[in-house]
Amino acid sequence: MTRIAVLGAGRIGKIHAHNAATLPGCSLAGVADPFGSAAADLAALYACRAEHDPAALIERDDVDAVVIGTPTDTHVELMLRAARAGKAVLCEKPIDLDIGRAREAAADLQRLDARVMLAFNRRFDPSVAALKAAIDAGEVGEVQQVIVTSRDPAPAPLSYLRTSGGIFRDMTIHDFDIARFLLGEEPVEIFAIASNLVDPAIGELGDADTVMVVMKTASGKQCHINCCRAASYGYDQRFEVLGNKGMLLNDNLRPTTLRRFTRTQTEAQDPLLNFFLERYEQAYRAELLAFATAVADGRPMPVTPQDGVQALRLADAALESSQTGHAVTV
């Protein structure tokens, strides 16, 4: 039984707490959040301990592992603190918005021989995992092109966007991770364009809301990412892989299988699942299980801080490219 403490009682912390409390092999040892009654409210639901101070929870003897779902600027400090306390860590992305701090943290964690997993949840989605397994089984032969479609249903509040680090570091970073995961090679050249088409207020923050990226690996494999802060039809998450022996496509999910036929149209299905909490519900469960299993069995973490650093490097390079109009060598 892996006894898990959850730091941060916001939207993402609630998911991890629920999963820690209900998944086999896991137990929820406690919840910490410095703001108001968030931790206490969440802890009451699962009859576990609540703390205001994450540090206090980390140090407890009945905690084997911590899940960090706090604001980004606290990730590095909490990861290191947990690592020094000998606790395994599952940390939400990104490590930090600053690539220098992220690299330094990754290096520190390595020196500490820390057991840290970065929470790129999409890798654990059953359909993404099946896609990766099919590639690894050679179903499409040599991978040639990867296409990632990633559109949120609607922009996050401006208050969030203001400190998000920008669309590449906040949103596209997930797509950079999936791209690396599916390509099986590091991109070495990246080009990006960024537009402000969804909400002028986002442009006034100096941020973009609609971007396109192309990347190339050393062996010439190619990847395209298209990413938009808004999609009226729901949370759009599709992945395509072309290889010399075939193609694999991953489609979206819908709440039901109902198809409607009327005088004006046929095959009309439900709108897509609204957002990541619904779309990646299974992925969050599988992610926590993978983490808890790695902790229990002493096996290597399936996603590492180095994966977080690489995704952030690509995000930084994309931002630079979109600003300079030049391709950036990574």
> Using CB under 8 A, which residues numbered 118 to 177 contact a copy of itself?
126-127, 130-131, 134, 139, 142, 144-145, 147, 149, 151
Minimum distance from residue 260 beta carbon to a copy of itself (Å) = 6
Taking the complex as a whole, the smallest distance from the CB of residue 156 to a copy of itself amounts, in Å, to 17
Q: Is 200 in the site for a copy of itself (CB under 8 A)?
A: no
Which C-beta is closer to a copy of itself: that of 159 or that of 244?
A: 244
- Per-residue contact flags (x/-) with a copy of itself for residues 245 to 284, judged by CB under 8 A: xxxxxxxxxxxxxxxxxxxxxxxxxxxx------------
> According to the binding rule CB under 8 A, does residue 71 interact with a copy of itself?
no
| Side chain identity, residue 113 | D
Provide the token pair at 260: 């409607």
Give the binding range for a copy of itself (CB under 8 A) out of 70-78, 102-110, 227-235, 296-304. Answer: 227-235
41 is an interface residue for a copy of itself by CB under 8 A: no
Would you say 71 or 141 has its CB closer to a copy of itself?
141
DSSP state for residue 117 in the 8-state scheme: E
Q: Does 320 bind a copy of itself (CB under 8 A)?
A: no
Please list every residue from 19 through 38 that binds a copy of itself, using CB under 8 A: 22
Q: What residue type is 67 in one-letter code?
A: V
Asked if 111 touches a copy of itself (CB under 8 A), the answer is: no
Residue (244 or 298) nearer to a copy of itself, CB: 244
**Distance, CA of 146 to CA of 321 (rounded, Å):** 20
Question: Which is nearer to a copy of itself, 71 or 271 (by Cβ)?
Answer: 271
Q: Which is nearer to a copy of itself, 93 or 221 (CB)?
A: 221
In whole angstroms, how close is the CB of 175 to a copy of itself at the nearest point?
13
3-state DSSP call for residue 245? Answer: coil
- Run of H or E residues at 34: none
Position 186 contacts a copy of itself (CB under 8 A) = no
Q: Say how many residues make up the chain.
A: 330
Distance CA 147, CA 179 (A): 8
Q: How far is the CB of 29 from a copy of itself (least distance, A)?
A: 17
Nearer to a copy of itself, 99 or 193 (CB): 193
Rounded Cα distance, 280 and 311, in Å: 20
Instruction: Find where tokens 């995961």 sit.
Output: 181
Site of tokens 């802060």: 229
Q: Does 14 bind a copy of itself (CB under 8 A)?
A: no
What does the alpha-carbon distance between residue 3 and residue 88 come to, in Å, rounded to a whole number? Answer: 10
- Does the footprint of a copy of itself cover residue 201 (CB under 8 A)? no
Query: Packing angle between helix 11-22 and helix 38-46, nearest 10 degrees?
Result: 20
Min dist CB 239 to a copy of itself, Å, is 9
CA 204 to chain CA mean position, Å: 26
> Which strands sit side by side in the sheet containing 26-32, from one edge to the other?
49-51, 26-32, 2-7, 65-68, 88-92, 116-119
Applying CB under 8 A, which part among 83-91, 159-167, 173-181, 190-198 lies near a copy of itself?
190-198
DSSP state of 120: -
User: H or E stretch including 290?
Assistant: helix 281-297
Positive or negative: CA dihedral 16, 2, 116, 48: positive
Q: Which of 2, 70, 210, 310 binds a copy of itself (CB under 8 A)?
A: 210
CB of 288 to a copy of itself, least distance (A): 15
84 binds a copy of itself (CB under 8 A): no
Shortest CB 165 distance to a copy of itself, Å: 21
Please compute, for residue 157, the number of CA atoms within 13 A of its CA located in the half-sphere on the CB side.
Answer: 2
Residues in contact with a copy of itself, counted by CB under 8 A, come to a total of 73
Token representation of residue 293: 């299993």
